[in-house]
Structure 1
């Protein structure tokens, strides 16, 4: 099979596209011929050696994608050859073929498009647990989303809006600002503009996947409010004075999606809830940017440039 791989950590120059052995399918696995593969900031961290990556020689990055079942292990009875399946937590996905444990596979509904599912799988399920497990906000409460035009941000903001919350956010350009407003945000600020002073201690919940903005998030949230911290797209967060948080009754909540996808039942129920928003038309996302898997180096560089809007997909 063809795959995108590397044998040591570093910048995008370490990536190689070439031939590697096909995966061997175990009794409880499906073999997928990949259609689309999701690229995420976590893949950048893994390539640099800053994030856990499954041991393999050479390394193959990637954990999510959509494909067609082309082979089935002897202990698998729930799937058939030709079924469309997606996954968000299976390693070695930057390849033409991926072996997926049956517990991690989620069958695509017939009314959901492969490209859309690939664009929303990981980010959508992340938004779901952030909104409904960590945030769990009351209707009409005021919430703020950092990176509102990003992959998670677009879905999270529209999900919160559909749930009846007032959504504010921040982004980097007027084009992204307009897009977020059209997707239902109440107000969207531009980075490097002066707006914070008017919104100190204003929000019931602040969603922060940037990391370096964590102190700003704490300032924005009201007493008895909460900051939901879920990533470090902009860099490591600063140290937090928890005594000061205590004195203001402010909370920081954090979580890992993998602790909320612990069974096939959870994967199925959460994806059904996610897909419902799209079927009802309450969430719309921008078209993904698609690179050939053979151009994976350029895709990594594009993601790191900060110019992307929404999802980046790799296509074998």
Structure 2
């Protein structure tokens, strides 16, 4: 099959379209003929050598795909050859075929095209597992999303609004903030011109955010704690602003706050299956109803993976960038 490989670590130019062996299908897995793959910042980190795949996972980049089942492995029930699916992966998505543990498969939601569905699994599982399952979202919570116009951000805005919450977002341009507003964001903060701590406090009568979903990491750590409400939960899922920061434990204690760091890729199969099951049961009906929709910035051919990485690196996109096979 054809796939995007990473012969050496480096900039976008190292991404190479090559012929590689088809993936073997183990017990409990299915083989998917890929229609499209989502592009994520984790892929950029892997390309640079900063985010290796978990042990036993494919060395090829790509954490989510959509496509059709081509083969069903031993022990798999509930899925058949020809079923249209999307899936969250530990790797291997930038390819014509990928082997997927059955517990990580999802049906294509009603009203979503096969290609569009490639932009759902990673962000849906990330948003649901972190905001609902980990941060214990309840209706009425105010949720601050850093990177509101990103793939994760555009999904999170819609999910929080659909569940009855209030959404604050940070983004770096008026265009991105306007798109966030159209998706349902209530509080719009231009991080280039405004202090998000002051803005979230002003918009909540001094209370702050009940939940903060953060992709920045160290650079925002102290300010995120300041922006938390009492009993607030800060969930860190990215390190775009660095790995090491200073934490004011006294301020955190005074607020009875929580700082949680999580990732999806390295979870074991049972944990991923648990998340996927909840997403299918509770989030997929919101997508089918139209309350939540995939936001696709653009699609490119698989051979243009390098250009897709440049687009993400420039942060000019809104929503997801997809590669079509």
**TM-score of the superposition, structure 1-length normalised?**
0.90
Distance in structure 2 (CA, Å) of the matches to 1:27 and 1:193:
53
Question: Does the Cα contact within 8 Å between 1:214 and 1:238 map onto a contact in 2?
Answer: yes
Alignment partner of 2:314 out of 293, 298, 305: 305
Does 1:233 pair with 2:234? no
Q: How does 1:164-203 map to 2 (within 5 A)?
A: 164-195=164-195, 196-200=197-201, 202-203=208-209
- The alpha carbon displacement at 1:71 in A equals 2.2
Distance in structure 2 (CA, Å) of the matches to 1:139 and 1:74:
42
Does 1:221 pair with 2:222? no
Does 1:282 pair with 2:283? no
Alignment partner of 2:280 out of 271, 287, 295: 271
- The alpha carbon displacement at 1:298 in A equals 0.9
Relative distance call for 1:259 and 1:250 in structure 2 (3 A) is: farther
Counterpart in the other structure of 2:70: 70
Relative distance call for 1:145 and 1:41 in structure 2 (3 A) is: same
Secondary structure of 1:262 counterpart: helix
Relative distance call for 1:215 and 1:85 in structure 2 (3 A) is: same
Distance in structure 2 (CA, Å) of the matches to 1:35 and 1:110:
17
1:108-132 CA distances to partner (integer Å, 9 max, x unpaired)?
A: 3565432332112110111112221
1:170-189 CA distances to partner (integer Å, 9 max, x unpaired)?
A: 11111111111111111201
Question: Does the Cα contact within 8 Å between 1:38 and 1:65 map onto a contact in 2?
Answer: yes
Q: How does 1:45-194 map to 2 (within 5 A)?
A: 45-54=45-54, 59-109=59-109, 112-194=112-194
1:209-265 CA distances to partner (integer Å, 9 max, x unpaired)?
A: 221222221111123322122222343352323244224432212333336962646
1:132-163 CA distances to partner (integer Å, 9 max, x unpaired)?
A: 11232343332211111111111112211222
Secondary structure of 1:136 counterpart: coil
Distance in structure 1 (CA, Å) of the matches to 2:22 and 2:315:
34
Question: Does the Cα contact within 8 Å between 1:7 and 1:57 map onto a contact in 2?
Answer: no
Structure 1: gaps of 5 or more residues: none
Q: How does 1:1-12 map to 2 (within 5 A)?
A: 1-12=1-12
Relative distance call for 1:309 and 1:220 in structure 2 (3 A) is: same
Alignment partner of 1:204 out of 206, 210, 220: 210
Compare 205-214 and 68-77 and name the one that shifted more: 68-77
Distance in structure 2 (CA, Å) of the matches to 1:109 and 1:294:
27
Distance in structure 2 (CA, Å) of the matches to 1:84 and 1:168:
35
**TM-score of the superposition, structure 2-length normalised?**
0.88
- The alpha carbon displacement at 1:36 in A equals 0.7
Compare 170-179 and 98-107 and name the one that shifted more: 98-107
Structure 2: gaps of 5 or more residues: 202-206
Relative distance call for 1:90 and 1:62 in structure 2 (3 A) is: same
Counterpart in the other structure of 1:42: 42
Q: How does 1:8-27 map to 2 (within 5 A)?
A: 8-27=8-27
